[in-house]
Amino acid sequence: MDRSNRDPRGQLLAMVSFTLLVCIGVAGMLVDHAVTRARAGEAQEAALAVASAGATELATSADDLTIWRAVMQAAADRGIEIIRAEYTTARGEHLGAVVGPVDATVVPARAAGIHVFATTRVAGILPIVGGPPSEMHLKATALAVQP
């Protein structure tokens, strides 16, 4: 039998099926990307809330451990992990003093804010199908406002 006389209908079905699978896969990746970006925004807002909790405590207390506890409690409430929290000036410059029991420091005289470095897992849809969640690194600074 001559190859040019074959019926092409079977080929068309295979091509349409393959194209449909690719389109579904691309759509799934786009949805996953959108979900991940939305959750990343929420995580950044959580990091800012943690820095704000520390800054609020800085405005009312000169006790390093109290400030550290406020930062850690706010982080736990929002599901993020604090890597490090540092004191900053009013211009956001790092003073080199770490908040909390690491250095057990006295709050620096020029401290006017808190900067946090944090991490969280941001999972879209891919972990449901076996993909790993993304780890997101967060940074946020908040200034203390005197009451």
CA pair distance 53, 80, nearest whole angstrom: 14
> Nearest-CA neighbor of 133 among 147, 119, 144?
119
- Is residue 14 assigned to a domain? yes
- Is residue 1 assigned to a domain? no
CA 56 to chain CA mean position, Å: 22
What is the dihedral angle through the alpha carbons of 139, 140, 141, 146, rounded to the nearest 10 degrees? -150
- Structural domain range at position 95: 7-143
- For the chain of 147 residues, list the mean pLDDT of each consecutive stretch of 10: 61 87 85 78 89 92 88 93 92 87 76 92 63 78 79
CA pair distance 12, 18, nearest whole angstrom: 10
**Edge-to-edge strand ranges of the sheet holding 113-122:** 94-98, 81-88, 113-122, 134-143
Helical spans, DSSP H, in 61-147: 64-78
- Type of residue numbered 6: R
| pLDDT recorded at residue 54 | 92
pTM for the whole structure: 0.73
- Is residue 59 assigned to a domain? yes
- In this structure, what token pair is assigned to residue 116? 């946090």
Domain count of the fold of the chain: 1
| pLDDT recorded at residue 135 | 81
- Is residue 60 assigned to a domain? yes
- Is residue 15 assigned to a domain? yes
14 backbone dihedrals φ, ψ, rounded to 5°: -65, -40
| pLDDT recorded at residue 136 | 82
The neighbouring-strand residues paired with 113 are 88, 143
- In this structure, what token pair is assigned to residue 125? 């849809």
| pLDDT recorded at residue 117 | 93
Computed on alpha carbons and rounded to an integer, the radius of gyration of the chain in Å comes to 25
- Is residue 18 assigned to a domain? yes
| pLDDT recorded at residue 114 | 94
